[in-house]
C-alpha cells in the first residue's frame, strides 16, 4: 500500500467511520459518496456515520497460505461480519482459536497492528475483530 493512500484512509481505519444516506437511512462502509439505493438524489447529502464496531459473523475461514506481507500471521482467521448498523465487512478475527468461531458469533472491533513495510519499517494499524463475550 502506498503511503498517501494509507494516510488518506486513516479516519476510516482508525475510527470505523462509514457514511449514511439521510434519505433512506442505509449505512455504508467503507463510506460512499452516493447511496446505491437513492442514487442521484443522494449526491452531496451523505453524512459521516461512526460505527459501533459490533457485529455478527456471517461466515468465516482460516487462512493457511497467506499473501506476501502476511506470512508471519499464518494461520489466521477471516470473517465476513455484518455490522449492527447494516454494512458487511471482511475482517480478521484475532485472539481466538479456530474452534471458537461460529456463524452468528458476536464480535467487536479492536485497534491492532495490521502490517509492517519491510523496507521502511512503517507499521500500519487498523481494525480487526475479537469475539465479544459481553452478551
Ligand atoms: Zn439512500
pLDDT at 2 (0 to 100): 57
CA 97 to ligand 1 centroid distance, Å: 39
pLDDT at 5 (0 to 100): 64
pLDDT at 89 (0 to 100): 92
CA 49 to ligand 1 centroid distance, Å: 14
pLDDT at 15 (0 to 100): 79
Residues present in the chain in total: 135
CA 9 to ligand 1 centroid distance, Å: 23
| Inter-residue contact 103 to 60 (CB < 8 Å) | yes
Give the single-character DSSP code of 72.
G
CA 87 to ligand 1 centroid distance, Å: 13
CA 33 to ligand 1 centroid distance, Å: 11
CA 110 to ligand 1 centroid distance, Å: 29
Express each pLDDT in 45-58 by its tens digit.
999 999 999 999 99
pLDDT at 74 (0 to 100): 85
Three cell numbers at 77? Answer: 482467521
* Distance of alpha carbon 80 from alpha carbon 94, whole angstroms: 13
pLDDT at 131 (0 to 100): 94
What is the reported pTM?
0.80
Q: Which residues of the chain have pLDDT under 70?
A: 1-13, 98, 115-124, 135
pLDDT at 100 (0 to 100): 84
Asked whether the CA dihedral 56, 63, 76, 69 is positive or negative, the reply is: negative
pLDDT at 90 (0 to 100): 92
CA 45 to ligand 1 centroid distance, Å: 9
CA 42 to ligand 1 centroid distance, Å: 6
Amino acid at each position: 500500500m502506498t503511503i498517501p493512500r494509507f494516510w488518506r484512509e486513516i479516519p476510516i481505519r482508525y475510527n470505523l467511520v462509514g457514511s449514511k444516506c439521510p434519505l433512506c437511512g442505509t449505512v455504508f462502509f467503507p463510506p460512499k459518496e452516493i447511496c446505491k439505493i437513492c442514487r442521484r438524489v443522494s449526491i452531496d447529502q451523505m453524512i459521516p456515520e461512526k460505527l459501533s464496531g459490533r457485529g455478527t459473523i456471517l461466515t468465516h475461514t482460516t487462512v493457511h497460505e497467506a499473501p506476501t506481507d502476511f506470512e508471519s500471521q499464518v494461520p489466521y482467521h477471516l470473517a465476513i461480519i455484518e455490522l449492527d448498523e447494516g454494512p458487511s465487512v471482511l475482517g480478521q478475527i484475532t485472539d481466538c482459536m479456530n474452534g471458537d468461531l461460529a456463524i452468528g458469533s458476536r464480535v467487536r472491533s479492536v485497534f491492532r497492528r495490521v502490517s509492517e513495510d519491510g523496507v521502511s519499517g512503517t507499521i500500519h494499524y487498523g481494525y480487526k475483530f475479537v469475539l465479544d463475550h459481553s452478551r
